[in-house]
Amino acid sequence: NAGVTQTPKFRVLKTGQSMTLLCAQDMNHEYMYWYRQDPGMGLRLIHYSVGEGTTAKGEVPDGYNVSRLKKQNFLLGLESAAPSQTSVYFCASSRESSGGNTGELFFGEGSRLTVL
């Protein structure tokens, strides 16, 4: 099992360019998430999905779009990249919850994005 796989692992963009980060999980998880990690700020939730065809906003959704066309894939798009979006991006997935708790998150290895 590969678990959660993110591509690409590294990318450098110029301001205004667009790109898509791909997240794939092979654990048949219902829930998927995109986080960004910046020094001293922990992990901040960008968008998440509770099932195929559904998405919802997290803590810092502005400047990003997502799609979950297939259960195993969760795509994060930047339509017009800005230097403030320079960060490490982590995708995660988890099982369907019971009792209101989501259960453990399984993370990908991260994608380091630099916007010049």
Partner 1 sequence: GQQVMQIPQYQHVQEGEDFTTYCNSSTTLSNIQWYKQRPGGHPVFLIQLVKSGEVKKQKRLTFQFGEAKKNSSLHITATQTTDVGTYFCARNTGGFKTIFGAGTRLFVKA
3-state helix, strand, coil in the chain (%, to 5): 5, 50, 50
- 8 or 16: CB nearest partner 1: 8
- 16 or 103: CB nearest partner 1: 103
Burial class (CB in 10 A: 0-12, 13-18, 19+), 87: buried
Which residues partner with 115 through β-bridges?
A: 13
- 35 or 75: CB nearest partner 1: 35
Least distance CB 49 / partner 1 (angstroms): 9
Interface with partner 1 (CB under 8 A) = 31, 33, 35, 40-45, 48, 50, 56, 58-59, 90, 92, 94, 97, 99-110
